[in-house]
Amino acid sequence: MTSAREAFDRHLAQTSETPIGLEILRAEGSWIYTTDGRRYLDLIAGIGVNALGHGNPAVLAAITDQARRHLHVMVYGEYIIEPQTRLAVRLAELLPPDLGRIYFTNSGAEAIEGALKTARKHTGRAGFVAFDGAYHGDTMAALALMGNATFRDPFAPLPGPVLHLRYDDASALAAIDETVAAVVIEPVQAEGGVRIPSQAFMSALRDRCDRVGAVLIFDEVLTGFGRTGRLFAMEHYSVTPDIVVLAKALGGGLPLGAFCGSDELIGKLARNPPLGHITTFGGHPLSCAAGLASLEVIMNGRLWESANRVGAQIRAGLSQFRAPEIVAVRGLGALIGIEFAEASVAHRFVAETIARGVIVNWTLNADRVVRLAPPLTINGDEIALGLTAMREALDAVRAGA
C-alpha cells in the first residue's frame, strides 16, 4: 500500500520544491501531532485560520450537529439555509452599519474577486489600485493586485489595469483618480512583512476614495476576528471601507470567505443580469455553522483582548534576545513580524525553529521577515516554550554561520 508520504510526493500537486513535509496525525489546542511521534507548537495557526487553536469543542459540536441535518443542498443564495442566515445576521451586528449585506464565498481570494466585480459594476470603471507588498490571493485578478512582481510576471498578462502605489505613503494617493473602480488594501500587511500603516495614511486614503468616487476595499482576510487586538483591524483607524473582505478565521477551521458592503453595492450583483455572481459551494452550511460557533467563542471570550496580551508577551520576549541579526520586531495584537538583516538568516531561523518543535514561517513579499500568528487561545507557558525554541534556533543559526 502506498504510504501517505509517497502519495504526497508522487500525486499531490506541489506548491514548492521544498515543502515542510510534516505528516499530520492530529491537532489539539496550540499543538500539532505528527505520525513520527513528535508534537509541534503552532505559532502560525494555519496562517491565521485557527484563531481558537485546533479542535475547539464548540466548533466541533456545531459541525457535528449540522452534518446530521444536511450538507450541500443548492447553489449559494437560492435556498434559505439557517446557518448562512444566522452567521450573516451576527456579522451584520458586529460590522459597521454600511457593511451589513453579506455575500459568502469559499475563500478569501474568491471574495476578493467578488468585491472587484462589485466595484466595476457599481462604478462603471475599469481600473484598480493596490500597494507594494500586497497579497490578496492567487486567482488571476487577485494575483494582479499582488505587490510583488516575482509572483505576477510568470502569469502575465493579468486582468487590469492595476496601479501599484507605495504603502503608507499619503503623497502617492494623488494617483487615485476618476478611472479607478476600487482601491484594495490590507489594514495591516501580513505577507508584506507585518507592515502597519499610519492613521494619517488611512484617513487620507478614505478621503481620496470619497473625492474621486472609488470603492475602498479592505482585505481583512487575516486581520479579522480579533487577530490585531480589535475584532476588525479597521477599528484601529476609525475608517470604514465600502467593502470588507473576510476569510481564514471566519470559518472556524473550515473553508469560508465573504465580502460585505451596503445594499446599494452588493445588491448590484442580483440584477442586470440576475445571477451575475454565483458560487456552488460558497457559504457551505457546515462552514457557516462552524463559523458562527467560532465567532461566538471569540465574542464571549473577548479574544481580541487575549490577542493583545499574547502579542505583548511575545514581543517582550523577543526584545530580550538583543540579537544583531534582528533589526525590528513589530506587530499589532497577535500578528507579529520579526525582521532580520538578511533573508538567508530568516530562512535558516525558520528551519531551526521548526526543528525544535515550534512552527513559524516567513512572508512571501518580505523575505527577511518571519511572521507569527498564534492561536488567540495560546497560554503563557506555551508562549514561553516557543520563545525558548526561537532563542535556541537563533543560537544555532549563529553557530552555523
Position 52 pLDDT exceeds 90: yes
Q: Which CATH class is domain 73-298?
A: alpha beta
* Per-residue 3-state assignment (H helix, E strand, C coil) for 162-205: EEEECCCCHHHHHHCCCCEEEEEECCCECCCCCECCCHHHHHHH
- Within the chain, which residue ranges are assigned CATH 3.90.1150.10? 4-56+302-399
- Tell me which CATH code domain 4-56+302-399 carries: 3.90.1150.10
Q: What is the pLDDT of residues 337-389, one digit of tens each?
A: 999 999 999 999 999 999 999 999 989 999 999 999 999 999 999 999 999 99
Q: What is the pLDDT of residues 169-181, one digit of tens each?
A: 999 999 999 999 9
pLDDT at position 2, please? Answer: 84
Average pLDDT for residues 188-214, to the nearest whole number?
98
pLDDT at position 139, please? Answer: 97
- Within the chain, which residue ranges are assigned CATH 3.40.640.10? 73-298
Mind giving me the DSSP string for 111-179?
HHHHHHHHHHHHH---EEEEETT----SSHHHHHT-S-HHHHGGGPSPSS-EEEE-TT-GGGGGG--TT
Confidence of residue 324 (pLDDT cuts 50, 70, 90): very high
What is the C-alpha to C-alpha distance for residues 310 and 316, in angstroms, rounded to an integer? 10
8-state DSSP, 401: -
Position 401 pLDDT exceeds 70: no
User: Considering only CA atoms, which of 198, 197, 244 is closest in space to residue 222?
Assistant: 244
What is the C-alpha to C-alpha distance for residues 399 and 115, in angstroms, rounded to an integer? 49
Q: What is the pLDDT of residues 6-49, one digit of tens each?
A: 888 888 898 888 889 999 999 999 999 999 999 999 999 999 99
CA-to-CA dists, residue 15 to 8, 18, 64, angstroms: 12, 9, 32
